[in-house]
Structure formats: C-alpha cells, structure tokens
C-alpha cells in the first residue's frame, strides 16, 4: 500500500502495481541516462584532472622490552608494560613537541596542525608494535616525514621519561601508487548517484504533473466511475 499525493494537497491511498512504476520510468528513461552521464563525467574530470593524488608512507616501530636485572629472560609483566607504553608512545608521537621538531629538521612549510592532520598512529593489538602512516601529495615528502618522526620521538621519549626505547622495524619507502583519490570508486558512486537522482526526478515530474492523459487518470482524480469515452473526431 502506498500513499500517492497529487499536487494540490489531496491524498489518495491506492495500491500501485509495480508495472506502473516501471512504465513511468520507461517513459522518461532518458532523464536517468542524461543525469548518469553528467555525474560520471563530473566525477571523472574531478578524479583525473582536479584532485591531487595523495600518497601514503608507513614506518613500523617496536617498543623494546627491558630484561630484569640479572636475568636473561623477559617476564610477562615486562611485556605487558611495553604494550601499554606503545599506546602511550602513540600519543606522544603526535605531540606538538615531536612534530614541531620534525617541521624544523625537514624545513617544512606546514604548521603543527597541518602536519598532525597528515599523520595517523596506531598500535597492533596485544603487541609492542606502533605503526606510523603519513599522507602527502608529494610521495618523497611522505617518506621523509615518516622516517624523521621516529628519530625525533626516540630522543623526546628518553628526555621526557626514562622509559623503554623504540626500534625501527620497517623504514618508510617512497610510495609509487597514490592511495587517493580512488578513481574507480568515485566513478562507480557517481553512476549510482546519477541513477538515484534520475529516478527521483522522474517521480517528481510525475508527481507535479496534473494533466489527465487517459480515462484512468480521470477516475483516480475525481473518484468517479467513467461511463464512456467519446472518440476524437478526425
């Protein structure tokens, strides 16, 4: 059961066969086609010619686990402490002190806020591993920043707290392929959006159209039974 609202404020409840929906769409299919082409074309122009490619460089660190004095083994408590430190270190890495030193060392033009927005830090669950990701429109710049952060952070971690040090597992390499924009995804989304907007537009046009084109329209609008139809004279 659907509510079919005619322009003018009147509301009529009626069961509409799916064939009627398809018939409406079929009559104005070109609207969907036009809007779909426009959306796909706009998305293609943006993805290929306007949007700057964004590259991502990653470096991986591990928090060292200190052995107990006079012991050659590492206890579970010491590992647990290192795992908790990894979470704490993840916050320190994005601190103003660390990033401003990175900016200074690399002579970057970014402010602290701009650089912080390019960096994401995460820890691998139940491990002492920290992953640092840097996104930049310049692939070489992304790798430089990702490799400079551990150098600055190591010094600051020792200065701030006499805690476990960190060691770089994987250095960041200059990325070749950008991570954004996702051109195929953008075009696919634009195509689906074009179809949705097209279907919506067709039904809005139908909704705003008050013309009576056949006997069924007269019966629906006036609520009267049609007794006959006078043929048009040629």
In the chain, % of residues over pLDDT 90: 50
State mean pLDDT over 103-127: 93
Which of these CATH numbers, 3.90.230.10, 3.30.70.1130, 3.40.190.290, 3.10.450.350, describes 55-170? 3.30.70.1130
110, pLDDT greater than 70? yes
Domain ranges of the chain: 2-50+182-222, 55-170
Q: How confident is the model at residue 174 (pLDDT cuts 50, 70, 90)?
A: very high
Residue 104: the pLDDT is 95
Q: Which pTM was predicted?
A: 0.70
| pLDDT tens figures, 25-43 | 888 899 999 999 999 999 9
Residue 18: band (very low, low, confident or very high) from pLDDT cuts 50, 70, 90: confident
Mean pLDDT, to the nearest integer, of 194-216?
Answer: 81
Placement of tokens 């590992």 in the chain: 79
Q: Bigger pLDDT: 109 or 5? A: 109
CA torsion 21-22-24-26 (nearest 10°) is: 170
Please name which of 171, 192, 220, 230 lies closest in space to residue 5, comparing C-alpha atoms.
220
Can you give the pLDDT at residue 11?
43
């Amino acid at each position: 059961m659907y509510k079919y609202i005619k322009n003018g404020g009147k509301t009529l409840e009626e069961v509409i066969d799916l064939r009627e929906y398809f018939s409406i769409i079929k009559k104005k299919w070109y609207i969907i086609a036009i809007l779909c082409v426009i959306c796909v074309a706009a998305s293609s122009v943006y993805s290929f010619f306007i949007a700057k490619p964004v590259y991502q460089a990653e470096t991986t660190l591990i928090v060292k686990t200190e052995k107990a004095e006079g012991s050659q083994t590492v206890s579970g408590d010491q590992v647990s402490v290192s795992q908790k430190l990894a979470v704490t270190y993840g916050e320190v890495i994005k601190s103003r002190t660390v990033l401003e030193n990175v900016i200074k060392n690399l002579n970057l033009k970014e402010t602290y806020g701009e650089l912080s927005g390019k960096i994401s830090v995460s820890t691998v669950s139940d491990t002492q591993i920290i992953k640092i990701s840097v996104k930049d429109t310049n692939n070489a710049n992304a790798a430089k920043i990702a490799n400079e952060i551990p150098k600055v952070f190591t010094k600051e971690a020792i200065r701030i707290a006499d805690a476990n040090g960190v060691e770089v597992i994987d250095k960041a390499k200059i990325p070749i392929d950008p991570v954004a924009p996702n051109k195929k995804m953008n075009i696919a989304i634009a195509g689906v959006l074009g179809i949705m907007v097209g279907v919506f537009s067709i039904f809005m046009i139908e909704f705003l159209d008050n013309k009576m084109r056949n006997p069924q329209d007269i019966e629906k609008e006036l609520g009267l039974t049609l007794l006959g139809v006078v043929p048009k004279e040629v």
